Amino acid sequence: MTTAERIEARGEARGEARGLATALLQVLTFKFGRPPAWVANQVRLAPAAQVVEWTTLALSSATLEDVFTEPVVEGSASG
């Protein structure tokens, strides 16, 4: 595979992930209301395979919390 082909493949993968992320965010908004910023960021940064997994889970879940767990912030006081 040439360098140009590798660059093209990476671009295609990013485009696919971006499209899947957009679709998942639409599903989440329709089903649960607008997701918090941390969820939207997580979705946008995730690889395509993870977004597909979350989409499948979102379609069968009753709440957003069934799909995503709020990330733990380093240095936060948690007892």
Q: For residue 26, what pLDDT is reported?
A: 98
The per-residue pLDDT for range 7-46, each reduced to its tens digit, is 877 777 778 889 999 999 999 999 999 999 999 999 999 9
CA nearest neighbour of 27 among 52, 46, 47, 7: 52
Q: For residue 72, what pLDDT is reported?
A: 54
The CA distance from 5 to 3, in Å, is 5
pTM of the model: 0.77
Q: For residue 79, what pLDDT is reported?
A: 43
The CA distance from 19 to 75, in Å, is 34
Q: Are 17 and 47 within 8 A, CB to CB?
A: yes
